[in-house]
Amino acid sequence: MKFFVDTADVAEIKELAATGLLDGVTTNPSLVAKAKRDFKAIIAEICETVPGPVSAEVAATDLDGMLNEGRALARIAKNVTVKVPLTWDGLKACRALTGDGVMVNVTLCFSANQALLAAKAGATFISPFVGRLDDAGQDGMELVREIRTVYDNYPDLKTQILAASIRNVTHVKQAAMIGADVATLPPAVLRALVHHPLTDKGLELFLNDWKKTGQRIV
């Protein structure tokens, strides 16, 4: 499974990219607002930092507006993935932008039917929002499972499942077990994947025992 980080904080992205574990980045208007910088400048810098897909979301809600904004965003860098909402106009924009050779991430997906439409419109990625469904008292991972089943029934559908609105490390494990192609994670969740109390305890034991030997490796 690929790991994308969900942030517009360029310093954070650079630090995580240095690990070699980062496959891409997703942003949204809320994350850009937190960054308090020029949107296009942020996207350009992220694209220089991460060679993989970098999602940049349109602000328009009508077809012509989404196409104009999407094409402007795509000109920033070859690895820009234009993010459009899962609406009729968003699906039309997806089809047109995909025809231009632009990667498209169809976002705000909350049903398998919506995911099927996005795939038929040629979406590169579909973003089911796991955490928001959980917040509404539903099982967000069940949606990922349903989409995986639908897509696997039709090998001609090439859209990748990008599990979004990930809240914790359990979500990541579940998404990987279901077979999501990508998980986009807040930086804190990505970092938390490495931690386990028994790892810390075992390392402490090994270091204490090594200290008792009085030896040095170099």
Q: Are 202 and 210 in contact (CB under 8 A)?
A: no
Digit-by-digit pLDDT tens for the chain (218 residues) are: 999 999 999 999 999 999 999 999 999 888 888 888 899 999 999 999 999 999 999 999 999 999 999 999 999 999 999 999 999 999 999 999 999 999 999 999 999 999 999 999 999 999 999 999 999 999 999 999 999 999 999 999 999 999 999 999 999 999 999 999 999 999 999 999 999 999 999 999 999 999 999 999 99
pLDDT of 9 reads: 94
Residue 83 known to be catalytic: yes
**Tokens, residue 140:** 């967000």
Distance CA 53, CA 66 (A): 19
Distance between CA 120 and CA 88 in Å, rounded? Answer: 13
Q: What's the CATH number for 2-213? A: 3.20.20.70
Active-site pick, 2, 40, 83, 173: 83
**CA distance linking residue 148 with residue 171, whole number of Å:** 15
Quick check: 162 and 129 in contact, CB under 8 A? no
Inter-axis angle of helices 88-99 and 63-74, nearest 10? 40
